[in-house]
Structure 1
Amino acid sequence: MRSGMEVPELMTATQVARILGVSTETLRKWRAKRRCLPYVRVGRHIRYRAADVAAFVERGTVMPA
């Protein structure tokens, strides 16, 4: 790994599901449908970058008129 390279925080599906208030099964369905929440495959494990989860929440934010 290069010196000074920042490694993003990776979260499990359980952690992300808790943050978003959905089930891990919902996250699995979103992955199958290629829904807008990017994920990282680490071997057989699925992980989510904290910045991607935050961006997903921001994209879903609706500002009242």
Structure 2
Amino acid sequence: MSALLTPEQVSDLLGVKTQTLAQWRWRKTGPKFQKVGRLVRYSPEDVDQWLHEGGVAS
């Protein structure tokens, strides 16, 4: 199991603002995410899959 990524790490990886990730979560258009308590985390595999599927949030 790989370490989960923070929104800041995914933001740097994708070149978008953390606020954009928050909007994508609300719209359910970005990479899959998990809640760990109150924290948002991303699986690197889910981010990679989202990118390979087109990686474009509308």
Structure 1 or 2: more strand by fraction? 1
Matched, 1:54 2:48: yes
Structure of larger gyration radius = 1
Structure 1 stretches of at least 4 aligned residues deviating more than 4 Å after TM superposition: none
Could you tell which deviates more after superposition, 36-45 or 52-61?
52-61
Identify the residue that residue 22 of structure 2 maps to in structure 1.
Answer: 28
Matched, 1:43 2:37: yes
Q: Secondary structure at the match of 2:42?
A: strand
Structure 2: which 5+ residue stretches go unaligned? Answer: none
Q: Secondary structure at the match of 2:48?
A: helix
| Superposition TM-score, scaled by structure 1 size | 0.77
Identity level (%): 36
- Which residue identity is paired with 1:15? Q
Structure 1: which 5+ residue stretches go unaligned? Answer: 1-6
Equivalent pairs, count: 55
The alpha carbon displacement at 1:59 in A equals 1.0
The alpha carbon displacement at 1:36 in A equals 4.0
Identify the residue that residue 3 of structure 2 maps to in structure 1.
Answer: 9
Structure 1 or 2: more helix by fraction? 2
